Amino acid sequence: MNYLLTGARGFLGKIILNTLPDIEFITLGRTACDVIADLSVEIPVLPYCEHVLHAAGKAHSLPQTEAEREEFFNVNVKGTSNLLKGLENAGIPKSFIFISSVSVYGRESGILINENESLSAKDPYGLSKIEAEEMIQAWCKKHKVICSILRLPLIAGPNPPGNLGQMIKAIKKGYYFNIGGGRARKSIVLAEDVARIIPMASETEGIYNLTDGYHPSFKELSVVMAEQLNKKNPLNIPVFLAKAMAMAGDIIGNRAPINSSKLKKITSDLTFDDSKARKLLSWRPKPVLQSFRT
Identify any residues that bridge with 26 across adjacent strands, giving them in sequence order. 4
Range 114-117 contact pairs with CB under 8 angstroms and sequence separation of 24 or more: 114/209, 114/272, 114/273, 114/275, 114/276, 115/151, 115/207, 115/208, 115/209, 115/273, 115/276
What pLDDT, in 10s, does the model give residues 231-271?
999 999 999 998 998 898 888 876 777 888 888 888 999 99
Mean pLDDT of the chain: 95
Residues 213-228: what's their mean pLDDT? 97
Residues 5-16: what's their mean pLDDT? 97
d(CA 107, CA 109): 6
pLDDT, position 249: 87
Residues 110-117: what's their mean pLDDT? 98
pLDDT, position 22: 96
pLDDT, position 1: 81
Residues 106-134: what's their mean pLDDT? 97
pLDDT, position 61: 79
pLDDT over 90 (residue 160)? yes
Residue type, 135: M
CB 13 within 8 A of CB 33: no
Q: Give the class (CATH, top level) of 2-158+188-213+270-291.
A: alpha beta
pLDDT over 80 (residue 78)? yes
Indicate the angle between helix axes 162-173 and 218-228, nearest 10 degrees. 60
CB-facing half-sphere around the CA of 272: CA atoms within 13 A:
29
pLDDT, position 253: 76
pTM of the model: 0.95
pLDDT, position 104: 98
Residues 127-147: what's their mean pLDDT? 98
